[in-house]
Every structure is written in structure tokens, then in C-alpha cells.
Structure 1
Amino acid sequence: MSWVGIDVFSHPFWAISTVILGLVVRSLRRGSWDPRVCDVQLKGQTAIVTGANTGIGKFIALDFARRGARVIMACRSEARGRTALREIQELSGNANVHLRLVDTSSLASVRAFAEGILLEEKALHILINNAGASGLPRKITSDGLEVSFATNHLGPFLLTNLLLDLLKRSAPSRIVNVSSAMHRHGKVDFSHFQSDNLNDGLSVYNHTKLHNVICSNELARRLQGSGVSVNSVHPGVVKTEVMRHYKFLVRLIFNLVGIFFFKSAEEGATSTIYCAVAEETEGITGKYFDSDCSLVLPALLARDRGLGAKDFEICERLTSKP
């Protein structure tokens, strides 16, 4: 492209304009709610955060630790988990932060983790289902499930159900499921759970995030009057390791663009923290929050009660012991 013979894309004007636009976007990224000015304390409360060793999960765990909570970091990698654990303890000054291992792609791992929690913990006030991945190589897990659906949806679904009684006994308590605005591009085809009729990796991610919202809404309906709230959130377009399974060139472009236009992991944690601790979200359930901590309507499919009931029942069947 050129204007009067000038190659715009190689001209300094283009580079400078792009940088300025990026800086303006960065300055506008933070929403109206700031966790740093929220004085809610969590002393005496227990919180579980999955995927807490990196990205937004790490900043969610750090925020809870700074508020005085007993924090259970549910991580897949012990080495990376221990590194994050030490950092969170040092930054928060809270020694009551603990590492427990879980791989949400494995139902056996989820059951073992939940069994340990039920034996060790007397209460659970906050459950953050944050762990997830995009672009995973297509494969079937030992449970007969497509790996992205197991990691992003069915594993967290099972974990939540296994811990429900503890959450009820600890009420008021909150469940927050980290979804994505990409759920609007997802589709519901229950054969996807066994890896049938699937296309590219990004579409798979979108489908899993749609199921997150559908089942969050259905669970909220089932828990009415229990004192347990369930909401789903969009953290924003965040520069994290979620793209680590994509090809190098895709990751490079994502990271370069992200320097100027995407949220940092700390900023991306905001909407989840808002749902989990803010006084103004207490008692709100069955809702979907965007990255600016605003209530918005999710995709039409996520509001279909009949579909929600069917989806939940199928997920229960798929995650039940044989």
C-alpha cells in the first residue's frame, strides 16, 4: 500500500502510529474495578485456584493470598508449581499457601485431588476453575475423551461436582469458571467429547468454552437457595502461555501483537477476582461477566435451559465412574 509513492508499511510514520495506538489501547485496558483498591479480606477462608502456577491463575492466587486466605494452588507441574508457590508466599507474606497436584485432563487425577481436599480441608469458600489450554494436539485420553474437552471442561466439571458438598457446607461460597468471549463462536455437538466431527484446534477451544458457560448456568439453577453462587467470566485477550501448543510463527505473532494490544496476566485476572471477592457480586449467580467486570449476556445457546439440562446430564454421565 502506498500514498503518493510512499510505502506506508516501511515508513517511520506507520511504525510510530502503530506504537502510539498500542500505547493508547494499553492505557484503556484496565476496567472500572481495580482489585488493588478493594479492601475485602479473606482471612479464615479457603480458596482453590486451578492452573495457579502461571498466567492469570498465578495472579488470582497471589491476590487471594494477599487478602489472607488459605490458598490451594492446584497445578499440573510440581516443579513450576513449587517455584510459583515460593514467589506467592514471598510477595504476599502469607505462608498459608499450599501446592496440590492435579491434571484436569485425567479424571483419575481429578478424583485423587478432590479426595485429598475432602480429607484435608474443613471448608471451601472459593473455587476458581481456571486451568485450560488451546491448540492441544488431538488425542483421546485414557478416559475415552478428547483431550481439550477433558482439560478445559470435563475435568473442571468433575472437580466442581466432587467438591460441591464442601462448598455447600461452607456457604456463602463462590464458584468462578474462566471461560472466554470465544464461546460465542462455539457449537454444541456431543460427539465432540469423543473427538468426532471436530475441525481445527481453535474451534475446539471455542466449543469447550461454550460448554463452560452452559454448564455454569445450569449448575447455578440447580444450586438456587444453597448459598453457593456460580458464574463464568471472560478474562480478556490476555498475553499468557495459553498459546504454547501452537506453532512457533503463530506464537510469535500473538506475542508481538500482544505487547501493545493484549492484557497482561495481572490485568486478565481482574474479572475473576471481581466475581470471587467483590461485595457487589455477592449473591449474584448464573451470570456471565466480561473482561471489564460488566454483566453481559452470553451466547444464545448458553441461555437455552433445555440444552443446559441435557449438557449437564451428559457431562455427569461421561465423568461418572464406570
Structure 2
Amino acid sequence: MADNLGRMDGKRCLVTGATSGIGAVTAEELARLGAEVILVGRDPKKCEEMLERLRRQTGNTAIHSMVADLSSQAEVRRLAEDVRVRFDRLDVLINNAGALFMDRRESVDGIEMTFALNHLAYFLLTHLLLDCLKAAAPSRIVVVASDAHRGASINFDDLQAQTRFKGLRTYSQSKLANVLFARELARRLEGTRVSVNALHPGVVNSSFFSSGEGPAWWVMRRLAGLIAISSEQGAKTSVYLATSPEVEGVSGTYFVKQRQVKPAPAAQNDEVARRLWRVSEEMTGLVSSE
């Protein structure tokens, strides 16, 4: 990991998608830096195994696990309620869980799965935990997006790809939604001392590419083996944004390799960001704050 990280003693961090890939590495590094870490995953067995492994390898016993399928809004709400009951504050929220689907499927809420998991889960969980984050201010929200957002657009006329579904295009749209969400949330959180930033972790050779079947997945796994970076490398920017004194007070920006860069022009469109926010509120049943 980079040398410009800050110690996290006394800080409490929640990491979604923490049982594999960059989420697992992020959780481990935060634990090594002294943070109290809440692991979130959808598989109870994997959560328990990760909990025990991190306690053993880091010597940090302040590690907890919570189980939730974040594609379900009821599960997101239950998770947030459990966090609020057990913990009075949250210093860092890392929205990391996500997936790529090459076939169209719907969540239990009847929402296209990519949009449900990759965007609406971030949107809803963050909103439900804002009071905990404000209680710990200065606090941080980290949004794991992707450079896959470049070249994408938000198709409000077919947001759930009901007319025409293509896995990679739908994934790219969800990653653009992540960057737009971070931008608009930062605007709304001005003056609260809660910062929010998005990042591109790199093309990571992790379990992200191992779940699918068929020719397209075979090609992606082959490419990942040739060009992808390790999960340890991919987690660097997440850990940096969660811990580094260098980004204290920095908000509404996009990072690649621990450096601030400009996202695609589509990710800087405030009108689209506000429209996406309103649509996301409607889809999650949240009351508008403006």
C-alpha cells in the first residue's frame, strides 16, 4: 500500500462486498491501520470466514460482519437499521459491492439487476447511513466506480434496459451513475464535513470475472489474465481515499491511482446528475430532500 496513508485508530469503517476481491483487501488494510471494520457480504459462510481470517492475520479484534444481499432494497434497509442499532457513528462508508451481468435479470424488487446492485444499493444505503456519518464528521464516503463510465450515457428512456440489453453497456451506465451520484451527493453535503469521492480501481483480476459462463466470459477472463492488476493494487485508491490526510476535506472528485483526474464529460453534467437523483429517489421510495 501507499506510504501516504493515515492511521485509523478509533475510526469505524463499513465496506460492502468485503468477502472477496478489492473489498476484502480494502477491509484488511483498514484493519491493519487500526480501524474498527464492518464487513458486509451476501454469503454468511464467507462473511464468517473473512471475519476470522482478518482477526487472525491483522491481530485486530474490532472486526464485525453483517450479511445482506444488496440487490434487495429490503435487505439494504435491514442492514442500515442493524448498523444504526449497533453503532452510533460511522467514520467511513465504502460502497464497493457490484457485479457485471451478461444476461438481463431482475432483482426481487423487479429492477434490472445491474442498476439495482451497482447504483441503487449505493444510493439507498448511503442515504440510510447519513446520520451515522454526520455524527462522526469529518467523515468520508468512498464510491467504487470505474473508467468504464467513459463513453457511457444515462438512458432515461430505457434505464433498465428493457428494450435493448447489452451487458457491458448496462454495466458502463451503472458506473456512470456512480460518478454522477458522488458528484451530486457532494454538492448536497456541502458544509456537513462529510466528503464523498468516486474512484476507478483499475481492471482487477479477481472473482469479478469468475462468476459467468459462456464465450463472452471466457474472453474477458483471458483478457483479465493478460492486462488486469491484482486485488492488492486495485484496493489502493479505496484505502487512500478512506485514510489519507491528503484528501481531508476533498469532495465531489474522481480518483485514479490515488490521483485526482477529470471524469468523462457525461459525469460532469449537473442537470443529468440531478435528474438521476430524482429518479433514484422514486425507485427507492425516499422522500426528496430538495
What TM-score do you get using the length of structure 1 for normalisation? 0.85
The unaligned stretches of length 5 or more in structure 1 are: 1-33
In structure 2, C-alpha distance between the alignment counterparts of 1:181 and 1:296, rounded to whole Å: 11
Deviation string 1:18-60 (CA, Å, 9 cap, x unpaired) is xxxxxxxxxxxxxxxx43x345211111100000000000000
In structure 1, C-alpha distance between the alignment counterparts of 2:150 and 2:32, rounded to whole Å: 34
Match of 2:34 in 1: 68
In structure 2, C-alpha distance between the alignment counterparts of 1:220 and 1:247, rounded to whole Å: 38
In structure 2, C-alpha distance between the alignment counterparts of 1:101 and 1:109, rounded to whole Å: 9
Deviation string 1:100-130 (CA, Å, 9 cap, x unpaired) is 0111110000000000001110110000000
Deviation string 1:173-213 (CA, Å, 9 cap, x unpaired) is 00010000000132211244443233311111101000000
In the TM superposition, structure 1's runs of 4+ consecutive aligned residues that sit over 3 Å from their partners are 191-195, 248-260
Q: Is the 8 A contact 2:102 2:166 kept in 1?
A: no
In structure 2, C-alpha distance between the alignment counterparts of 1:299 and 1:197, rounded to whole Å: 26
Residue range with higher mean Cα deviation, 135-144 or 213-222: 135-144
Aligned partner (choices 67, 86, 105) of residue 52 of structure 2: 86
Task: Give the letter for the 1:243 counterpart.
Answer: F
Q: Is the 8 A contact 1:135 1:243 kept in 2?
A: no
Match of 2:122 in 1: 156
Match of 2:282 in 1: 317
Q: How does 1:230-241 map to 2 (within 5 A)?
A: 230-241=196-207
Alpha-carbon RMSD across the aligned residues, in angstroms, is 1.7
In structure 1, C-alpha distance between the alignment counterparts of 2:232 and 2:222, rounded to whole Å: 18
Task: Give the letter for the 2:260 counterpart.
Answer: L
Match of 2:94 in 1: 128
Match of 1:282 in 2: 248
The unaligned stretches of length 5 or more in structure 2 are: none
Residue range with higher mean Cα deviation, 183-192 or 128-137: 183-192
Match of 1:114 in 2: 80
In structure 1, C-alpha distance between the alignment counterparts of 2:192 and 2:46, rounded to whole Å: 36
Q: Does 1:304 align with 2:289?
A: no
Bigger Rg, which one: 1
Match of 1:170 in 2: 136
Q: Is the 8 A contact 2:5 2:243 kept in 1?
A: no
Percent of pairs with identical residues = 38
Q: What SS class does the counterpart of residue 185 from structure 1 fall into? A: coil
Deviation string 1:275-317 (CA, Å, 9 cap, x unpaired) is 1111111110000001x21111111111111111111111011
What TM-score do you get using the length of structure 2 for normalisation? 0.94
Match of 1:270 in 2: 236
